[in-house]
Amino acid sequence: MSVSPVKALRGTLSLPGDKSISHRSAIIAALAYKGTSRITNFSTSEDCESTLRCLEQLGVKVMREAAATVCIEGAGAKGFRAPSEPLNCGNSGSTMRMLAGALAGHDVVATLTGDESLLTRPMKRIIQPLNQTGAHIQGTMDRAPLTVLGRQPLSAIRYELPVASAQVKTAILLAGLNARGRTEIIEPNATRDHTERLLSWFSIKVDSKTIDDDGTSKTRTALEASQPFAARDVAVPGDMSSAAFLIAAAAAFPESELLITDVGLNPTRTGFLSILQLLGGDIELRNVRNEFNEPIGDVYFRGRYKFEPQAPRANLIRGSLVAQVIDELPILAVLGTRLLGGIEIRDARELRVKESDRLAATVTNLRVMGAEVEEFEDGLKVRGPCQLQGAVLDSYGDHRIAMAFSVAALIATGTSEIKGADCVRVSFPEFFRSLESVSER
């Protein structure tokens, strides 16, 4: 994909459904004991299509309608059916980790596999807690393919996450639906709470609160088992992680004016907007309301001629905030090249075990474009402002890297080539079309 510079981003966009909510709504709907859930604005991503295909292999009736609408019939008391062949999760770690949790509480044997990238990602983080429930999850050197030997009922556990992860939390909660007793999860930092909100929407009682653990603030989420639930309809808001790349592109130009409508504004997902405001971005939230247990609204961004930090150390991103902006860190690093004082990101080792080593990929591509970047084991530091140069850039098969450096190409001098740009289909197939529709050259 060749990308040439632009002068500004102007216009109005609506985005495909949130990927995180789409995964979760499909799996929870499949676990309903009766009825059919109609999910509108379901994500168009390849990742979420992987989840639907896996559910179909497990005997769940999935009906795809026009306009990104999916109807899912609850598996009911009969539960999942043992698949005749391995469940292919594609590139989706969300599919693999969360489905492993759902399968743990069913009397089936299933193997979860995926593409080359997924087979390199760490799975010990779900293997350990799920095996504690009485299920048996087996991997190869703690990686996929995973063989799940489900059991019903499971034993409820109290588990403290060594690393904050919404996917692992979700896997344990889904297993807890078929466990005896009270399942409790302790997180070192608050993570995305879409699962808790969706479970509550489906009338399942979930208790989540901040606790003091020996002077340290942590988050405890608890679920009581034996709560059969019926199907419910869900309307998925636009994906904030996808919106972030478009907003970041707009932020790079003082004459930009961009409105993104009906996007999810869950507090665990708006850390990017908060950071951008502290860095000098002019953001206004409009038409904010609550729909299907999730906050939603419009995000209006207006460019500024002076783009610089508005508070001391605003351009240092570290600690608990990292978990909330983990998907947006590569694009924030790109924005650091436009920012007075640049940007520094720490406590982000998790980026090394995503679809690619996103720290290394970000550093390499920025250096190719002429930026001065220092790499750390847990982060990076970009010196700014500086003028990026058009270059041949590698996506490393990672959708977030492809999108981040497509934005970098917009602000560079000369044309850039993004190798492997078609990987954006994993999360945001419409990305290049949406970007082009609001670009002014």
Q: Which residues are catalytic?
A: 327
Between CA 141 and CA 376 the distance in angstroms is: 27
Q: Which residues contact 372 (CB under 8 A, 6 or more apart)?
A: 382, 383, 386
* Token reading at 151: 């059991």
Between CA 245 and CA 403 the distance in angstroms is: 7
H helical segments located in 105-179:
124-132, 166-176
CA proximity to 389, closest of 421, 365, 362, 373: 365
CA proximity to 229, closest of 263, 204, 257: 204
Pairing status of strand 36-40 against strand 234-235: parallel
Between CA 292 and CA 272 the distance in angstroms is: 23
Between CA 390 and CA 420 the distance in angstroms is: 17
SS3 341: coil
Between CA 434 and CA 355 the distance in angstroms is: 23
Between CA 419 and CA 117 the distance in angstroms is: 17
Q: Cα 356 to the chain's mean position, in Å? A: 15
Q: Are 348 and 329 in contact (CB under 8 A)?
A: yes
Q: Are 347 and 326 in contact (CB under 8 A)?
A: no
Q: Are 281 and 301 in contact (CB under 8 A)?
A: yes
CA atoms lying within 13 Å on the CB side of residue 323: 16
DSSP result, 40-92? ES---SHHHHHHHHHHHHTT--EEEETTTEEEEE--GGG-PPPPSS-EE-TT-
Report the interhelical angle of 358-368 vs 399-410 (nearest 10°). Answer: 20
What separation in angstroms does the CA of 75 have from each of 30, 70, 176, 213, 233? 6, 15, 17, 39, 16
DSSP result, 129-140? HHHHTT-EEEEE
CA proximity to 316, closest of 342, 345, 339, 340: 345
